[in-house]
Amino acid sequence: MTRSKRIAVVGGGAAGMLAALAASNAGQHATLFERNKRLGIKILISGGGKCNITHNAPPRQMEEGFIRPEARFLRYAFHTLTSESLLSMLHAEGVETFVRPNGRVFPVSGSADDVLSAFERMLQRARVQVETNAHVQAILVENGAAVGIQLDGQAVRFDAVVVATGGVSYRKVGTTGDGIAWGESLGLPVVPLRAALAPIYFTPAPHASWQGVALRDVRLTFAPTLNQLGIPNAKDFNQTWRDDLLLTHRGASGPATLEISRAVALAQEAGATPILLADVAPDQRPEELLDIFLDRLQNSPISEIQTFVSGFVPQAIVESVLEQAGIEPGRKLGAIRRHERGQIVATLKRWRVGTVGQIPIDRGEVTAGGIALSAVDPTTMRSRAIPNLYFAGEALDVAGRVGGYNLQAAFSTGWVAGRAAAINPEEA
């Protein structure tokens, strides 16, 4: 086969590898540039090194992992490369997978390296030229169209360029947001970068005894809400989430925290100082909690209030709940007045976890913000303004939920971009 078109793919993560693979499979010469010494470093650390490859869901359900504007943009990509198709590619390479009850897909081996090695074999077999330790400094544009890249100070010409350089989370693995900066320098609209799926640090820091304490199955939210702050399209963002909450020496982490961190960051941008709030008894209405209290009171009136509260939160948190409820430790259930019972119940339903200080963008699993979706054709991932220039993965303004959604978005957008660039780099 004659490979007449030369496609540059910048960034060797999930999106970049699939873009190069798609371009090569379409019959063109693809060169994949990666600044690290190996491809897919972020894949190696995903899912705690176990690699949550994707989510077990058909395309329309996959969209549910993203806010509505992003879901609409990703629809074509999710239908073009489905999670089922992606897993078939890996299965053909001998990577067996399993699905957890929550829909998250992992390799049976528990090794992210097995997944990455499979993609490396695919690239080798497809004759993709892989250049590691490659430092791309810029995209070359002439007469309004992309014509190549600046590599280690030298101009290298290509028929099309796919930018898959990622966001700015986990900078230590090389994700520094270069592609987003290149796009902005070329006049493309960029949505400001913010943390997503990130831990939240408190000011002041939590009590030392809280470090490592986990609260299982709580409903986490924050105040003031985006609605109260007048944030446009507030309903599109996860402002409350039910899952586990992990307290750290600096603040909060765990699934519930990660899921609402993007919305909390928006609240901060609006000038608010958000407070994290946890409903530690999400299955009980306030009146039901009061009934539980009265039942305990009847059966054991001399029990101390700490015993009752410890049925809902870990021991290290009991004192905080009582303090917020205005109840002195050591008091017997029989000595708790009627209005104080209401205070205890109200605190269990709305415990103030901490005041938000910082949401570290570089500690987030993904980055929100990036090249504005309005600037990119979702059926090709091509820049609407600059022919022959394509964007994929986290360089785009997409950030989904925990659970394999973001990797699938990277794989799918990369596949669409690579294939479109290869089929007709000038007009695709």
pLDDT tens digit string along 239-261? Answer: 999 999 999 999 999 999 999 99
User: Is the same domain home to 204 and 330?
Assistant: yes
Side chain identity, residue 210 = W
Please state, in angstroms and rounded to a whole number, the distance separating the CA atoms of residues 206 and 251: 6
- 419 has pLDDT over 50: yes
Residue 20 resides in a domain:
yes
Residues near 172 by beta carbon (within 8 Å), at least 6 away in sequence:
none
Question: Residue 327 has which token pair?
Answer: 């109840």
174 band by pLDDT with thresholds 50, 70 and 90:
low
User: Is the same domain home to 141 and 271?
Assistant: no
Residue 428 resides in a domain:
no
User: Is the same domain home to 16 and 163?
Assistant: yes
- 2 has pLDDT over 60: no
User: Is the same domain home to 250 and 397?
Assistant: no
User: Is the same domain home to 190 and 207?
Assistant: no
Q: Which helix (H) or strand (E) holds 245?
A: strand 241-247
Q: Looking at residue 47, what is its pLDDT?
A: 78
Degrees, nearest 5: CA angle 19-51-39: 40
Question: Residue 425 has which token pair?
Answer: 């780099």
CA-based radius of gyration for the chain: 25
Number of H helices and E strands in the chain, helices first, is 14, 19
Residue 317 resides in a domain:
yes
User: Is the same domain home to 172 and 272?
Assistant: no
Phi, psi angle pair for 425, to nearest 5°: -55, -30
Degrees, nearest 5: CA angle 277-358-232: 70
Phi, psi angle pair for 140, to nearest 5°: -90, 130
User: Is the same domain home to 332 and 319?
Assistant: yes
Per-chain mean pLDDT for the chain? 95
Please state, in angstroms and rounded to a whole number, the distance separating the CA atoms of residues 422 and 292: 65
pLDDT tens digit string along 216-240? Answer: 999 999 999 999 999 988 999 999 9
Q: What is the mean pLDDT of residues 264-286?
A: 97
Q: Which of 42, 59, 111, 134 is nearest to 393 (CA)?
A: 42
Domain boundary among 335, 359, 383: 359
User: Is the same domain home to 163 and 218?
Assistant: no
- 424 has pLDDT over 90: no
- 1 has pLDDT over 70: no
Q: Is 241 exposed, middle or buried (0-12, 13-18, 19+ CB in 10 A)?
A: buried
Return the number of other C-beta atoms located less than 10 Å from residue 219's C-beta.
19
2 vs 167, more confident: 167
Cβ–Cβ < 8 Å for 56, 103: yes
Beta bridge partners of 245: 215
Torsion over CA of 391, 395, 397 and 398, rounded to 10 degrees?
100
Q: Looking at residue 3, what is its pLDDT?
A: 63
Domain range holding 23? 6-194+368-423
Please state, in angstroms and rounded to a whole number, the distance separating the CA atoms of residues 14 and 37: 16
Residue 45 resides in a domain:
yes
End-to-end CA distance of the chain: 21
168 band by pLDDT with thresholds 50, 70 and 90:
confident
- 295 has pLDDT over 50: yes
Residue 1 resides in a domain:
no
CATH number at residue 35: 3.50.50.60
Q: What is the mean pLDDT of residues 115-141?
A: 97
Q: Looking at residue 427, what is its pLDDT?
A: 46
User: Is the same domain home to 76 and 153?
Assistant: yes
Side chain identity, residue 3 = R
131 band by pLDDT with thresholds 50, 70 and 90:
very high
Domain boundary among 359, 380, 415: 359
Please state, in angstroms and rounded to a whole number, the distance separating the CA atoms of residues 389 and 323: 58
pLDDT tens digit string along 350-369? Answer: 999 999 999 999 888 899 99
Residue 89 resides in a domain:
yes
User: Is the same domain home to 142 and 227?
Assistant: no
Residue 155 resides in a domain:
yes
User: Is the same domain home to 208 and 346?
Assistant: yes
Considering its fold, how many domains does the chain have in total?
Answer: 2
Residue 237 resides in a domain:
yes
Upper half-sphere CA count for residue 277 (Cβ side, 13 Å): 18
Please state, in angstroms and rounded to a whole number, the distance separating the CA atoms of residues 190 and 186: 11
User: Is the same domain home to 144 and 263?
Assistant: no
pLDDT tens digit string along 381-400? Answer: 999 999 999 999 999 999 99
Q: Which helix (H) or strand (E) holds 353?
A: strand 351-358
Q: Do you know the residue count of the chain?
A: 428
Domain boundary among 309, 327, 359: 359
Q: Looking at residue 163, what is its pLDDT?
A: 99
Helix axes 405-423, 14-25, angle to 10 degrees: 30
Cβ–Cβ < 8 Å for 349, 318: no
Q: Is 286 exposed, middle or buried (0-12, 13-18, 19+ CB in 10 A)?
A: middle
pLDDT tens digit string along 46-87? Answer: 877 899 999 999 999 999 999 999 999 999 999 999 999 999
Looking only at the bridges linking them, the beta strands covering 154-157 and 145-151 are antiparallel
Q: Which of 120, 116, 122, 121 is nearest to 46 (CA)?
A: 116
- Describe the chain by its helix, strand, coil percentages, rounded to 5: 40, 25, 35
